[in-house]
Amino acid sequence: MAAVAVGKARFAGVPVKQVTKSNFAAAIHQIKADIEAAEFVAISTRKTGDFSSSSLRHPWRRVLPIDTSETAYLKSKLAAETFELLQFAVCPFSIRGSKVVAFPYNFHLFPRDELTLGMPSYSFACQTSFLASMAREGFDFNACIYDGISYLSRVEETKARERKSGSWMHTVTSSQNPSVADSIFKERIKSRVTHWRKACKDTSQAKDGSLVQSLRKLVLGGESYGSRPGMSVDICSEKQAQLVFEILEQISDDLVPILIPDNGGQPKAVRVVLTSSEEDKKLLLTELQNSEDEQNLKLRGFRQVIDLISSSHKTIVSHNCLHDFTFIHEKFLGPLPETVAEFMCSLRLLFSNVVDLNHLLKEFGPLRKAKNIPSALSYLKRQYFVPMELEVPEQAEDGNKSHGNNVLKLAFLFAKLNMLLKNASSSRSALEQAKSIEDYANIFNPASLTLHEPGDDDDDETGWQIDTTRTVSTDNILFLWGFAGATSSVELKHRLLQIHPVFVGDFDVHFVDKTCAVVVFERSGSAKILLKDMLSVDTVSGVLRAMVVEGFRAAGYDAYKKVCRLGLWEGDLADSLEIALAETVEDLCSLSRTNTNEIRWNSEMMIDLNDL
Amino acid sequence: MALSGFRAFGSRAIPQTITSSQYRHLHRFLSSATSTTTSGGSGVAMAVKKVTLSNFCSVLEDLRIRIREADFVAIDLEMTGVTSAPWRDSFEFDRSDVRYLKVKDSADKFAVVQFGLCTFRWDACQGSFIAHPLNFYIFPRKELSVEGPTNEFLCQTTSISFLAKYQFDFNACIHEGISYLSKTQEEEALQNLCSAYENVLLGFSGESEEYVEIPAVRTADVFFTERMKIRLHEWRENVLKYPEDPILKGNDCGQNVDFQMVFFKMHPAIMLNGFTSHQLKLIQLTVIAVQVLRKYFKDLLYLCVSGENCSSQKLVVYTDSEEDRASLMQEVKEDQLRSGKLKIHSAVGFRHVIDLLMCEEKLIVGHNCFLDIAHIYKKFIGPLPSSMEGFALSVNKILPHIIDTKHLISSNNFIQYLMKKKNKSLSSAFSLLCPQLSSPSQNLASTRSFVKVDVQADELGSSSWNSGAKHEAGFDAFMTGCVFAQACSHLGIKFEQDSLIMDLARNDNLKSYINILYPSWNSGTVIDLRTGAESPVSCYKRKYPKIEFSNIALIWGFSSKLKPKDMEECLCKVFGTASVISVFFLDRTAALIQFNKMELVNDFLVLKDMLEKDDGPVSVLHPLAKLLEGGNTRAADYNTYRDICSSSTSTSRILFADQAEAIGIRWKTKIRPACKETSELDSLKDSVSEHQSDKNDSEKQSQHQISFEEMLNSL
């Protein structure tokens, strides 16, 4: 039965398949097929916090309009390392004419330590306001914590395997120079196994009574593996395991070795299983493969889905990619690298094609100021005629169906934009440059968030503001602190006007947190002049001198970058900047390392300041 | 499904405790806990009242009386975690100050999600205690305009899983948990409110007067502003024209809902509805700007007042004169101050319960409650003091009588005998000491007398009851109280005789147990809250020999392949076979090395420093080189361990080495500041190069060593 959603309640009423621990194994098969069949995969996540909600204590930890991709990445990295994922919605979808055919899934996650390895997460932070607002939306925390699916990242899985290597698939590599002890061991095992095999094959034993059978079992050391006869060969090293594997190959094809590890993960014994025929052997091997897969599923948990998406090479659609993918990298791939360039490289290996809706909206002229998906959707609805229908062919059975329907909105918005862009490229009239969706792939826009004034919550409509885009070089940015008393940017601006001639030109002042303000100069070079004059305070007189004596300080963008790179996230920005400035000497080695690629970065370090 | 099975057990049990007739006749009923059924072992089914936002106020009213009448109050807390990183766990190599720092870190980072409180009152007629268990759900929510108790808190995955295992209702906690403010936070909020009020009265009404900038706006804004100007003007004309009843007469110009005419404190006013915040800002600017620039709307006032259901309401008010305007402003400000104070009072939330406990100075009973008390202090009083002694003394000031049942049952010989030296967990103590409560179906052919405890409950409603199971704060508090009551009777306290005035807090039999807590499971010491002094206690068997902390060196950042055995071997090669007493791994990146002599710590650090500075073949071939593999090995003395434990970054690193890096440790080796041993340093260096040769001066040095215990005693 297909549900075609129309009208206002387009998304609210659409059922989203809710996946927890209990139905995960079944869902994974289903989603595998859906991903294979789809053109695109939209994803969206719910976390325990992300620094974007109004945090009064550390407002500068958010990704701000003054952040370059580098600093924005470092901030996202911090969030990904601090917080945890609770829901991960995946929606494979295809665009068929004017129809979006979508298969939404919402996975409930919890980093439960299923294998008691201290992984994936020892502890994680929760943002109070974040959880409270999720609660208002009716978020079901019990579902996540009780029945959420756990996971291990690729790196963690490797670690886990190291610790409890239990793989039966053992690569047989011939041992180079066997020692005398080895050959004795080999001979002994060989005769034992051959004898045992012969005894098993000997059909005459069927005539014997049960007592004789069990006695034989005792004598031969045999045991059954399921319905098949088997025996254990005790070993005490990896090498001996290899030797046993070799011998078994020599003896017969119908013997299948299974490595049995002890609690510490060291090989303890090799179980030899006798199969009755070629088909029986195949059957056993598939059985073993299945149990291995099951074990893998248990180990990887939800990451299996990420792996599926990754190996499908479908185009992934997401909003706030930088945020989401730092989380994905941290939780499902491995620890985040130090620089954004390394991050992008590493991510490209996992996902070759990602479209950031945030970036797409920014590029799509009229939607530049859309703050969130609903406002972009409502704008499109008002301004453009894009006939598009959403179809969800599968009905979820029960439960709270609307959880995770954000991912449907993503898919829907993407489909609309896709169509608009296509129309534009054919007519070449509506839009200035005709680009196709492909041109937007793999460019992440740091989530743009305006500096909120506290208490200014009711501005849904003001998502549309004046359309001024300005890019500013980081050279024209200064951080100021130590101005006693000034509490508003207007007041500070008035004060600055009096202290130095550079402030005669046009400039902007904004508070980053209560201790520190950022000044953006129109004229290049102004920042440098002020910094120089403040350093040589003996030659400068007047108000500036008086203020510097009283603790007025300034720092360029480099200091800010250093704060982010060193991870000085504690406390107010002013304090962190002071620490960063003080550390110049000690940090020489790391500076020289990064300086090399900073020059390259500097040339393109332009930031979008329209939100300032 | 485990969940439904468990729940069913709880709900089935409740009706058995109370018959329906009892319920009908007595709204308040008593049901002896001895009549409850059990399901194997020590499981008790008992109704514990669940307190959330919705019923908090009414519960608080009842509680006021119950606490006043109570003989003692048992408490128990459930937290979101205990240790923020594996190395923050409590180890036997933790000195007293380190142990406190670890407790402090835990209380600072984790949140309290459940507060169990059970009042116990002796009923002389019944000859039994009447217990009233409550289970408060707590969540550090930001209430209204007041800043919340915490922005962020940590969850330990295993603790959360543990809570989930015992069916903790996270939805109830986050959706309707009661918030709180600590005393310090409340004072801060009040101060902010008052200073804002002062500023307004003094005329610093922010930027509005002096620096009004009319922003360069888009045309839509200009049109909007002009239209507003006209509408305000028209309205003002109307008010002037029909001063007696502007609302009726003036209807012709303002029938829109967004421009609703009202009276505000006897002044004609317009309620601004349905405008966006941007538009409201424009209106405000219009009113102010026109006032300032042209003295035109001088008699209009733009106000923002908090209306019902906490939403702020914007108004434009007409005032007759300058004085009228001033008095109106004053009135509004006072209103705001009053409502602000009310908001803060309600934001105090759960702390009202703590205030009750504090002002009644009741005997507080907890089981292994050092961490609980630290949480109470941090969450409801203020930031934790930096030292254990300071903490003990401050706690004693606010909660003068605390008793720890774990200490009580382990230090009393008779109870120990009864417990048969079994483990001292709360549930095992409960089932051993109070079998009449934990498994009443059993035939107790014992000569021991059991203290009777009846559970009192009221307004039974299925939704507001928790099943009363182990590891649920309310029930744990009940068990703690029962264990305490039973222990008291073993100590010879006769409740029947002391029925008139039972002052347990000053009872002679309890004297030696009151205000004695013990800071961690392996410390072997107790802390006296009255003096802040820590002393070893004989009843705890010390598993380990006394530790000289000055003999311990800290090392971290070494190769992950290095095992404790390798490290010991490597060090013994350098300093002699008996030189290393033990190597203790804090986690896989850090270890504490206990030497047999204090000076070896310094020898080790100096030698490490030398090897690192030297690029020659010696540094490669030296036995210690194995420790330095990778080039990131850092070492210091024990005090650095304390310093790193005291570092509290809000994002705690899981690995010790990462934490050290996060707090900005860039040096490789920190050699102990040689105070009087400076002269010895050089000779030490020499002796290090020919290590093992000098072992004879150990006797000389030993007199320098002052054990930590001795230091404590001398304090």
Contact check, Cβ <8 Å, B276/A458: yes
| Residues facing residue A108 across a β-bridge | A87
Find where tokens 């009741």 sit: B362
Read off the tokens for A161: 């395997």
Q: Are B292 and B324 within one domain?
A: yes
Long-range pairs, B186-193, Cβ under 8 A, ≥24: B186/B344, B186/B347, B186/B348, B186/B351, B189/B146, B189/B147, B189/B344, B189/B347, B190/B341, B190/B344, B193/B337, B193/B340, B193/B341, B193/B344
Instruction: Specify if B339 maps to a domain.
Output: no
**In a mutagenesis test of the B interface, which of A46, A114, A128, A490 is the best target, namely the one with the most B β-carbons within 10 Å?**
A128
Q: Are B605 and B508 within one domain?
A: no
More reliable by pLDDT, A426 or B316: B316
Read off the tokens for A152: 């291990």
| Residues facing residue A555 across a β-bridge | A479
Q: Backbone dihedral region of B436: left (phi > 0), alpha (psi from -120 to 50 degrees) or beta?
A: alpha
**Distance between CA atoms of B228 and B222, rounded to whole angstroms?**
10
Q: Which residues of chain A have a CB within 8 Å of the CB of B652?
A: 123
Q: Mean pLDDT across the stretch B10-29?
A: 34
Task: Provide the CA A42 distance to its chain's centre, in angstroms.
Answer: 14
**Distance between CA atoms of B629 and B558, rounded to whole angstroms?**
7
- Which of A215-224, A305-314, B321-330 has the largest mean confidence? A305-314
The per-residue pLDDT of chain A, averaged, comes to: 74
The reply to whether B10 touches chain A by the CB within 8 Å rule is: no
Count of residues making up chain B: 715
Contact check, Cβ <8 Å, B650/A125: yes
The neighbour count for residue B180, using CB atoms within 10 Å, is 28
CATH number of B361's domain: 3.30.420.10
The reply to whether B4 touches chain A by the CB within 8 Å rule is: no
B461-487: per-residue pLDDT in tens?
444 455 556 678 888 898 899 889 888
Contact check, Cβ <8 Å, A462/B174: no
Instruction: Specify if B543 maps to a domain.
Output: no
Contact check, Cβ <8 Å, A488/B206: yes
Residue pairs spanning A and B at CB distance below 8 A:
126
Say if residue A1's pLDDT is above 50.
no
Burial A62-75 (b: 16+ CB within 10 A, else e): bbbbbbbbbbbbbb
Q: Mean pLDDT across the stretch A114-133?
A: 82
**Domain end: B536, B558, B580, which one?**
B536
Lowest-confidence region among A206-210, A342-346, B163-167:
A206-210
Strands B48-51 and B128-137: parallel
pLDDT score for B600: 85
Structural domain for B586, as ranges: 549-714
Number of H helices, E strands in chain A: 21, 20
pLDDT score for A41: 92
Query: Which residue in chain A has the smallest CA separation from B220?
Result: A466
Which sign does the torsion angle of CA A312, A317, A320, A321 carry?
positive
Q: Which residues of chain B have a CB within 8 Å of the CB of A460?
A: 276
Read off the tokens for A606: 């332009």
Q: Are B323 and B363 within one domain?
A: no
**Distance between CA atoms of B376 and A63, rounded to whole angstroms?**
35
Q: Which residues of chain B have a CB within 8 Å of the CB of A123?
A: 81, 84-85, 154-157, 652, 654
Half-sphere exposure of A208 (CA within 13 A, CB side): 14
Q: B654 near A125, Cβ under 8 Å?
A: no
Read off the tokens for A331: 């939780």
pLDDT score for A88: 92
As a whole-number percent, the residues of chain B with pLDDT over 70 amount to: 69
- DSSP letter (8 states) at residue B542: P
Query: Which residue in chain B has the smallest CA separation from A465?
Result: B218
Q: Would you place residue B631 in the very low, low, confident or very high pLDDT band (cuts 50, 70, 90)?
A: confident
| Residue of A112, A122, A124 with shortest CB distance to B86 | A122
pLDDT score for A578: 84
Q: Are B18 and B86 within one domain?
A: yes
Q: How far is CA A292 from CA A238, A298, B146, in A?
A: 20, 10, 54
Say if residue B694's pLDDT is above 70.
no
Q: B73 near B354, Cβ under 8 Å?
A: no
Contacts of A486 (CB under 8 A, 6+ apart): A492, A495, A517
pTM over 0.90: no
The reply to whether B215 touches chain A by the CB within 8 Å rule is: no
Q: Mean pLDDT across the stretch B208-213?
A: 44
Instruction: Specify if B644 maps to a domain.
Output: yes
CATH number of B637's domain: 3.30.70.330
pLDDT score for A211: 65
**Distance between CA atoms of A434 and A525, rounded to whole angstroms?**
37
pLDDT score for B118: 92
Contact check, Cβ <8 Å, B139/A128: yes
pLDDT score for A430: 39
The reply to whether B86 touches chain A by the CB within 8 Å rule is: yes
Say if residue B536's pLDDT is above 80.
no
- SS3 of residue A471 by DSSP: strand
Instruction: Specify if B81 maps to a domain.
Output: yes
Q: Which residues of chain A have a CB within 8 Å of the CB of B154?
A: 123-126
Q: A511 near A66, Cβ under 8 Å?
A: no
**H or E element at residue B636:** strand B634-637
Q: Mean pLDDT across the stretch B280-300?
A: 64
Q: Which residues of chain B have a CB within 8 Å of the CB of A53?
A: none
| Residue of B85, B139, B163 with shortest CB distance to A122 | B85
The reply to whether B391 touches chain A by the CB within 8 Å rule is: no
The neighbour count for residue B666, using CB atoms within 10 Å, is 12
Lowest-confidence region among A241-255, B169-183, B494-508:
B494-508
pLDDT score for B79: 92
Residues 127-166 of B with CB under 8 A from A: 139-142, 145, 147-148, 150-158, 160-161, 163-164
**Distance between CA atoms of A243 and A183, rounded to whole angstroms?**
9
Least Cα separation, residue B165 to chain A (angstroms): 8
Contact check, Cβ <8 Å, A142/B156: no
Q: Which residues of chain A have a CB within 8 Å of the CB of B160?
A: 110, 145
The per-residue pLDDT of chain B, averaged, comes to: 73
| Residue of B85, B148, B649 with shortest CB distance to A128 | B148
Say if residue A50's pLDDT is above 90.
no
Say if residue A440's pLDDT is above 50.
yes
Percent helix / strand / coil, chain A, rounded to 5: 45, 15, 35
| Residues facing residue B403 across a β-bridge | B365, B514
Query: Which residue in chain B has the smallest CA separation from A53?
Result: B151
Contact check, Cβ <8 Å, A141/B170: yes
The reply to whether B84 touches chain A by the CB within 8 Å rule is: yes
Read off the tokens for B504: 């347990």
Query: Which residue in chain B has the smallest CA separation from A150?
Result: B157
Say if residue A469's pLDDT is above 90.
no
Q: How many domains does chain B have?
A: 3
Query: Which residue in chain A has the smallest CA separation from B140?
Result: A128
Q: Mean pLDDT across the stretch B633-646?
A: 86
**Distance between CA atoms of A111 and A43, rounded to whole angstroms?**
19
**Burial class of residue B646 (count of CB atoms within 10 Å of its CB; 0-12, 13-18, 19+):** middle
**Distance between CA atoms of B625 and B631, rounded to whole angstroms?**
10
The reply to whether B175 touches chain A by the CB within 8 Å rule is: yes
Q: Are B294 and B418 within one domain?
A: no
| Residue of B141, B169, B218 with shortest CB distance to A128 | B141
Q: Are B372 and B492 within one domain?
A: yes
- DSSP letter (8 states) at residue A330: I
Contact check, Cβ <8 Å, B151/A56: yes
Q: B546 near B708, Cβ under 8 Å?
A: no
- DSSP letter (8 states) at residue B1: -
| Residue of A57, A146, A456 with shortest CB distance to B151 | A57
Say if residue A572's pLDDT is above 90.
no
Q: Which residues of chain B have a CB within 8 Å of the CB of A82?
A: 651
Long-range pairs, A28-35, Cβ under 8 A, ≥24: A28/A297, A28/A304, A28/A305, A28/A308, A31/A90, A31/A92, A31/A103, A31/A105, A31/A305, A31/A308, A32/A308, A34/A92, A34/A103, A35/A92, A35/A308, A35/A309, A35/A312, A35/A314
Contact check, Cβ <8 Å, A567/B662: yes
Q: Are B383 and B297 within one domain?
A: no
Q: Where are the domains of chain A?
A: 3-152+302-440, 180-283, 468-608
Instruction: Specify if B199 maps to a domain.
Output: no
Least Cα separation, residue B140 to chain A (angstroms): 7
Q: Mean pLDDT across the stretch A522-534?
A: 80
The reply to whether B23 touches chain A by the CB within 8 Å rule is: no
Contacts of A35 (CB under 8 A, 6+ apart): A41, A92, A308, A309, A312, A314
Instruction: Specify if B407 maps to a domain.
Output: yes
**Distance between CA atoms of B284 and B280, rounded to whole angstroms?**
6
- SS3 of residue B337 by DSSP: helix
The reply to whether B170 touches chain A by the CB within 8 Å rule is: yes
Phi (first) and psi of residue A389, to 5 degrees: -120, 145
As a whole-number percent, the residues of chain A with pLDDT over 90 amount to: 4
Kindly state which CATH superfamily the domain A3-152+302-440 is placed in: Ribonuclease H-like superfamily/Ribonuclease H (3.30.420.10)
A8-37: per-residue pLDDT in tens?
445 666 778 888 888 888 888 889 999 999
Q: Mean pLDDT across the stretch B168-195?
A: 88
Q: Which residues of chain B have a CB within 8 Å of the CB of A128?
A: 139-142, 148, 150-153
Say if residue A386's pLDDT is above 60.
yes
Contact check, Cβ <8 Å, B139/A132: yes
Contact check, Cβ <8 Å, B277/A127: no
| Residue of B140, B158, B276 with shortest CB distance to A113 | B158
pLDDT score for A173: 47
Say if residue B65's pLDDT is above 50.
yes
Lowest-confidence region among A580-589, B84-93, B314-323, B653-662:
A580-589
Least Cα separation, residue B452 to chain A (angstroms): 37
Contact check, Cβ <8 Å, B651/A49: no
Least Cα separation, residue A135 to chain B (angstroms): 5
**Distance between CA atoms of A494 and A491, rounded to whole angstroms?**
5
Rounded to 5°, the CA angle A529-A530-A531 comes to 95
Task: Provide the CA B10 distance to its chain's centre, in angstroms.
Answer: 29
**Distance between CA atoms of A56 and B188, rounded to whole angstroms?**
15
**Domain end: B484, B507, B536, which one?**
B536
Count of residues making up chain A: 612
Read off the tokens for B508: 């002679």
**In a mutagenesis test of the A interface, which of B204, B651, B652 is the best target, namely the one with the most A β-carbons within 10 Å?**
B651
Q: Which residues of chain B have a CB within 8 Å of the CB of A129?
A: 142, 148, 151
Half-sphere exposure of A608 (CA within 13 A, CB side): 20
**In a mutagenesis test of the A interface, which of B277, B278, B587, B661 is the best target, namely the one with the most A β-carbons within 10 Å?**
B277
Q: Are B646 and B699 within one domain?
A: yes
Q: What order do you get walking across the sheet with B634-637 strand by strand?
A: B580-587, B590-595, B552-556, B634-637
Cα end-to-end distance, chain A, whole Å: 49
Q: B552 near B544, Cβ under 8 Å?
A: no
**Distance between CA atoms of A540 and A320, rounded to whole angstroms?**
46
Q: B652 near B154, Cβ under 8 Å?
A: yes
Where does B214-338 show beta strands of DSSP type E? 259-264, 267-272, 300-306, 312-318
Contact check, Cβ <8 Å, B152/A567: no
**Distance between CA atoms of B209 and B556, rounded to whole angstroms?**
59
